[in-house]
Amino acid sequence: MRGEGKSPVQYRWNRIGGKPLRVLRGVVALAAGLIAATLVFAGVGWLWLEGQADEAPPWDAGEVTATPRPLRAAPTRDAKQVLFGDLHVHTSFSADAFAYALPLYQGAGARPPSDACDFARFCSQLDFWSINDHAEGLGPDQWRETTRAIRECNAAAGNPDAPDLVSFLGWEWSQSALEPAEHYGHKNVVLLETDASRVPDRPIAASTVNPVIHLGMALGSAATRDIPNEELRGLYRFLRDSFKRDVCPAGVDSRDLPAGCADVAATPDVLFEKLAQWGQPAIVIPHGLAWGVTNPVEGDLANQLEPPMHNPEWQRLIEVYSGHGTSELFSDFDRTTTDADGEPACPVATDRFEPCCARAGDLVRARCADPESAACRAEVEGVRARVAKSTQGLLGRFANANDWVPGIPVEAYGDCGQLKDAFLPAYDYRPKMSAQYGYAGAAVREDQAPAYWRLGIIGSSDNHSARPGTGFKEFGRLENTEGNARVGVESPSGSYFFTGGLAAVHATGRDRGAVFDALHRREVYGTSGERMLLWFDAIDDAGASHPMGSHDVATTTPRFEVRAVGAFAQKPGCPAFVHEALDPERLEWLCMGECFHPSDTRKPITRIEVVRIRPVLDVGASRGAGIEDPWRVFACDGNSEGCSVSFEDPDELAQETLYYARAIQAPSPAVNGNPLRCERDASGRCTRASLCPGTGAAGSRPPEDCLGPVEERAWSSPIWVRPHSESSTSP
């Protein structure tokens, strides 16, 4: 049955999308613009689905390869071993991932949960991973198939006390709001249990509208294309199964809700409440914080740093790096401002940030015959005001630079609008949504005591093609990053997609409970994709050692130890056991012929940086006042055995203070490592960008990996230290 003249891609697409239909052979034209595309898509799809409901088959998560891989020894220290995983993975059960798998975007076809399991086991060879499809689009069929696939993945892992792979069940809660005070962003939920008697009947969503928004965004840039019926059938099916569900009644315990409805928590406090009703262990992980595509221009974490919008029993970790870039750094610049009349105005440029309205004004001034003339000044101010308005508010993130000034291409704007001098930053950076901002504390009102987060640090991928741990090798930009989602679109956003990061745990064993326990106690660190080894410990006055993630460490003189070891250099191809487990067709489809394949040589560590943050306790003080980054820097000799340093803080502690370490590896090529490939003038200013292209229409251009040198890194979870003579001053 599988063959029937179909390629593996066609077979998998037909399995998940539905069988061929005999209707709707006309051309579907989507209205131009994001909102119009969304409404037309949803409306036409809804009507069409009503007549086709009986023809669509059930959703299918696929079959897991029932062959565990050989276990390799994990690095150990103090009876704990370092394990690597990815806690942010989407499959084609997510609305946006489904759309990007379409041939419309040169997508290779559907990637069900079974592919994610096999990829983690054979391609990236992780120790653990979690599935996190958007809850907003997970109907009963998809959720049932998801839980089945995760149980099968665990069943194929060998000895449950020492499995080759731990697979966690979870979802993503994807909330957005136009008003910053009502915006809470995206959070992954990772469950401990997978047994049918313990798993929630349905995931908890932020809304039921997001599937349509996701699909409208995905199709918005294709508004002028003719889309064949065979590409739309699966998306219509998705809309029917996810969007066309009644919202469950409010105020009812989640365990007592009627079958088939969508359980919705519009705010984090309700999400935490519903998780408590299910009564099983779970971890909630905010992510994508500083990414401009999903966060409002004036986004601010101040509204979710304390209860009830933050609950430390559930919210334990924060994702600082993913394939969407880094959300670590706080830089004190303004993305928006207003003039005396309350109209949008051009913010002031800083060393870290140049507003695009300022760059547009400079480009116009350079074209003037007399730059000092009144006419030129008026034209410059007009352009600055127009661009400032277009890059703020609702559609600021979708502003088309080619329309700002006629005759000036997007490349001429250089790196305006982006965070400068930072490691692979998130596109269209939101500084007040960064991890450091959350650590430094904030307050919404003058009468409100400042609060701050105690969250451990991880990295993950945010991959949308069922590929956990895509950073194991730097290749396949259009497959291993989200670059394929922007095919043919000449926009800087496509240059800011990277291979994914990793979460590392110091666990007492390989089993599910040991991994989850390490995550919960925050004895974790994140990497940018490389499997670097990192230990960070505080030594108290009695000589006791406290690992990363510890809090309430009392001491008169904070002392610390850091040890870092570089990742193994990779050999080409795949190990022999992968070839034995997968046939050539499956290996090429799943791994593109490349796997995690370590050599015996480790990459050198060049330096260790330490960040110190003293949370701001004065409401009126600058939010960046307590952030010292880097506070200390230690050069390493590049020894393959790694780098170890010991140090203390000679300053007297006046309040609880947090410290975390960054281990920096020697430069190596990475996908989109130099995102804009700038041409620079003598002062270092980016005068022109060279955007990393997609494949063009119908694959007319060969894909490029756009490799550039980067200093891969690992971030430890913080350690919170308080003065020895005082009770904890934490919130």
Beta bridge partners of 611: 660
For residue 538, being part of any structural domain is answered with no
Cα distance between residue 608 and residue 600, in whole Å: 23
User: For 401-451, what is each residue's pLDDT tens digit?
Assistant: 777 888 898 899 999 999 999 999 999 999 999 999 999 987 655 666 678
Residue 591: CB partners within 8 Å, gap ≥ 6?
A: 119, 122, 123, 574, 578, 582
For residue 7, being part of any structural domain is answered with no
Instruction: Kindly give the pairing relationship between strand 170-174 and strand 524-527.
Output: unpaired
For residue 247, being part of any structural domain is answered with no
For residue 384, being part of any structural domain is answered with yes
Q: Which domain holds residue 350?
A: 337-413
Give the mean model confidence (pLDDT) for residues 508-536: 98
Residue 504: CB partners within 8 Å, gap ≥ 6?
A: 82, 83, 84, 85, 458, 524, 525, 526, 527, 531, 534, 714
How does residue 616 score in pLDDT terms, banded at 50, 70 and 90?
confident
Of residues 590, 516, 473, the one with CA closest to residue 129:
516
Domain count, the chain: 1
How does residue 26 score in pLDDT terms, banded at 50, 70 and 90?
very low
Cα distance between residue 404 and residue 362, in whole Å: 13
Residue 228 pLDDT > 60: no
Neighbours of 162 (CB within 10 A): 11
* 3-state DSSP percent of the chain in helix, strand and coil, to 5: 30, 20, 50
Residue 38 pLDDT > 70: no
Cα distance between residue 621 and residue 625, in whole Å: 7
For 507, the 3-state DSSP assignment is: strand
φ, ψ (nearest 5 deg) of residue 635: -75, 145
For residue 357, being part of any structural domain is answered with yes
For residue 49, being part of any structural domain is answered with no
The region of weakest confidence among 35-39, 332-336, 402-406, 461-465 is 35-39
The Cα angle at residue 199 between residues 240 and 276, in degrees rounded to 5: 105
Tokens encoding 499: 């291979």
Average pLDDT, the chain: 85
DSSP 82-145: EEEEEEEE--TTSHHHHHHTSGGGT------HHHHHHIIIIIS--SEEEE--BGGG--HHHHHH
Query: What pTM does this model have?
Result: 0.90
For residue 451, being part of any structural domain is answered with no
Cα distance between residue 600 and residue 598, in whole Å: 7
* Confidence at residue 692, expressed as pLDDT on a 0 to 100 scale: 81
Compute, in degrees rounded to 10, the torsion defined by CA atoms 362, 365, 371, 375.
Answer: -130
For residue 342, being part of any structural domain is answered with yes
How does residue 52 score in pLDDT terms, banded at 50, 70 and 90?
very low
Highest mean pLDDT out of 10-24, 197-211, 498-512: 498-512
Of residues 684, 696, 683, 679, the one with CA closest to residue 412:
679
